[in-house]
Amino acid sequence: MLNTLKSINSCSGVSGREHNVQNKILTYIAPLTDKVWEDAMGNLIAVKCGSGENKKKIMLCAHADEIGFIVTHIDDKGFIRTSPIGGINFVAASFGYVVSESGVKGVMVPEAGTKAGDIAADKVYIDIGAKDKKEAEKRVQIGDTFHLESNVTRIGKKICGRPMDDRIGCVALIEIARKMSEGGCKNDIYFCFSVQEEVGVRGSKTAAFGIEPDYAIVYDVTGTGDVPGAKPMACSVGGGAAIKIKDSSVICDRETTQKLMALAKENDIKYQWEILTYGGTDTSSIQMSRAGCKAVALSIPTRYIHTGVEMIDMNDVSACVDLTLAFDAAIEA
């Protein structure tokens, strides 16, 4: 899984411009499933047909997009101004390397004299080393996107880098598909790599409308309470698959969350409960699409979300994979 993470992390995929990362994911998911397509929104969807007699439609979803910046202005000296796409922490982004969707490299820096507490979208710019506007415009255009430079580093027994949010969820889906290609599945499993999650859970809504699943499981990162100064929270990195109870956008189906807990205990899979008091994921849009479905989430506890040093434990990802396989085996009607 780590090599898969490194591979797809290296691809750009700012919300609305996910084609590079989706093309890379396609090379992994297509050989493992029976049919693959892209819908009008750009969601990449693959289906693995089950062998059960009374099959359910189970939608597994992780978003392929990442937060980033869109170019809004290039000044006479060739410095680039941007607007945020998604929830940007500009303090964390400052003095960081950035890369455009076409591969142009630069650095994001605050204006001279800006105090740390004042760093915001209108106080930072990107320097691509151009001598003037004319040279900059040969390499960057209005509307191009940039993202913080991707990386994956092992720190102790943890994995650190970006964008774990939510490429690690995509890795989980690919690993589930790999194991199902070897051992089969009972239900029809729809793998959805959604777009535009970071700007309002948009892609998953249309994908769920088209699939019309009976059940949905969403894989995304979640916050933790295991670092100095963190708000009290039950989730910790290395604590196992985080079964979401609620966040600020959704209350997950109680019957299904209880089923996941029972399966975790039965199969000796490490798990923990997640109640997130802020943020949201594709779970909310899928739950309310068309006539609705039984939607839950298996989250990967992550430290330092939306920075360049997001930290995870791969054992938590494995727990999410194992719990999903157990769910498929148990849910056949």
Q: Which residues are catalytic?
A: 197
Left if phi > 0, otherwise alpha if psi is -120 to 50, otherwise beta: which for 86?
Answer: left
> What does the angle CA 199 – CA 202 – CA 211 come to, to the nearest 5 degrees?
155
Sheet of 57-63, strands arranged across: 35-38, 44-48, 188-194, 57-63, 215-222, 294-301, 241-246, 271-275
The rounded radius of gyration (Å) of the Cα atoms in the chain is: 20
Cα separation, 272 vs 289, whole angstroms: 27
Paired sense of beta strands 188-194 and 57-63, if any = parallel
**91, two tokens:** 């303090």
Taking the CA atoms of 67, 72, 75 and 78 in sequence, report the sign of the dihedral they define. Answer: positive
